[in-house]
Amino acid sequence: MLHELGYSNLRVYRGGIADWVESGSPTESVTDTPPPEPEPDPHATIPIGPPLVDSPNGVVGRGPAVLSRMGRLDKSMLDLVQQRSTLQLFLLWIGTILLSGFCFWLGALMGEHGLVEAGRPIGAGLTGFGSALYFSFVTATSIGYGDIVPIGGARVIAVVEAIAALLIFGAVVAKFVSHRQDQLVSEIHRITFEDQLDRIETNLHMVISELLSITAMTETKAPLNRITTRLESSVILFSGELRTTRDLLYQPRLMVEEGVLAAILATLASAMNVLAELLALLPPEFSRSQPLTITLDRLTVLAEEICGECVPHTYTPRLVFWMDQIQATAKRIK
C-alpha cells in the first residue's frame, strides 16, 4: 500500500470508519453539489413566471450559503478553472454573453424590462435581437457605450452578466498566461531530470573504474586497510546511485527514454559484476568493516528489487534483461 510508495511515517487506524462511527465521533459527509456555474444562475429562472423579479432573489438567497463555505467554493472554483481548457473557458464566456443577450431580448418582448435605444424600446424582431446581443457584448466587455440602456429587470441581468463575464474572462486570461508558465516549469523539470540521469551514469562509470583499480590493488597484494577505505567509499556511491535507479524504475515521474534507461541499467549490471568479482577475489584474511557490511547489505537488497517481475511497471525486453542480470548478480554477492 502507501508505505511501498515511500511514505515513512504511516500510522494505521485499524478500527476504520466503522469503529469511528460506532464510537459516536463526528464525521463529515459531502452534501454540497459542485459549485453552481456562474452563468446559469441569473438566467435559469428567467423563462418561468415573472422572471426578472425572481432572479435577484435567487442570487440573494444563495448569499449566506456561499459565504459559509467560501473556502471550499474557492477551491472548487479553482479546480473548475484548472480542469477546463482555455478554449472551453472562452466558449463559456461567449455563452454567457449570448445567453444574456437572449434574456435581454426576452425582456424586451415583455416591454417593461427590456432595453431602450434613443428613448425608444428596441423592437422584438431580428433587429431587436441584434441590438440585445450588441448590448450584451458591450456590457460583458465592460465597455458600456451607453447608446442602449437597460431598464427594469434588465438592469439586474446587466449587472450580473457584467460581473460573471468579468470573472470568466479573467479566468481565460489567467489560463492563457499560465499555460506558458506550465510549459516552462515542465521544461525545467525535464532538464533537471536529464542532468540527474547523466549524473547516475557518470557516477556508475566512476564506481566501475574505482572497483577495477581496487581489483588491481588486491591482485598486487596492497595493504588491506587501504583496500577497505577505497572499497567503502565506492560502495557507498554505488548504493546511492542504485537507489536512485531503483526509485526511477518504481516511480517514474517523467518518461525516461528507453535507450537512456538501458544504458544506465547496463552500466549498473556491469558495475554489479565487477563488484561481485572483486568480492570473490578478496583474500580470506580480509575482514569487512562494519560500514562496508551495512552498505553492501543495503546494496544487495536494493539490487534484488530490480528485476523484470518485481518492478510495478512493464518495460521492454531489453530493459528486463538488464534488470534480471542485476538481480542475479546481487544474489551471487549475497
Name which of 25 and 83 has its Cβ closer to another protein.
Answer: 25
Name which of 133 and 310 has its Cβ closer to another protein.
Answer: 310
Kindly indicate which of the ranges 27-35, 108-116, 122-130, 142-150 contains the residues binding another protein, using the contact rule CB under 8 A.
27-35
Structural contact between residues 309 and 327, judged by C-beta atoms closer than 8 angstroms: no
Q: Where are the beta strands (DSSP E) in 167-283?
A: none
Name which of 39 and 241 has its Cβ closer to another protein.
Answer: 241
* Interface with another protein (CB under 8 A), residue from 84, 155, 230, 298: 298
The 3-state secondary structure of 250-302, one letter per residue = HCCCCCCCHHHHHHHHHHHHHHHHHHHHHHHHCCCCCCCCHHHHHHHHHHHHH
Cα 65 from Cα 68, distance rounded (Å): 5
Report the amino acid identity of residue 64. Answer: P
* Torsion sign, CA atoms 232, 236, 238, 242: positive
The answer to whether residue 34 forms part of the interface with another protein (CB under 8 A) is no
The answer to whether residue 309 forms part of the interface with another protein (CB under 8 A) is no
Partner residues linked to 116 by β-bridges: 121, 149
Q: Which x/- pattern over 230-269 shows residues binding another protein (rule: CB under 8 A)?
A: ---------x---x---x---x-x----------------
The answer to whether residue 293 forms part of the interface with another protein (CB under 8 A) is no
The answer to whether residue 33 forms part of the interface with another protein (CB under 8 A) is no
Terminal Cα-to-Cα distance of the chain (whole angstroms): 28
The answer to whether residue 20 forms part of the interface with another protein (CB under 8 A) is yes
The answer to whether residue 125 forms part of the interface with another protein (CB under 8 A) is no
Q: List contacts with another protein (CB under 8 A).
A: 1-21, 23, 25-30, 239, 243, 247, 251, 253, 297-298, 301-302, 305, 312
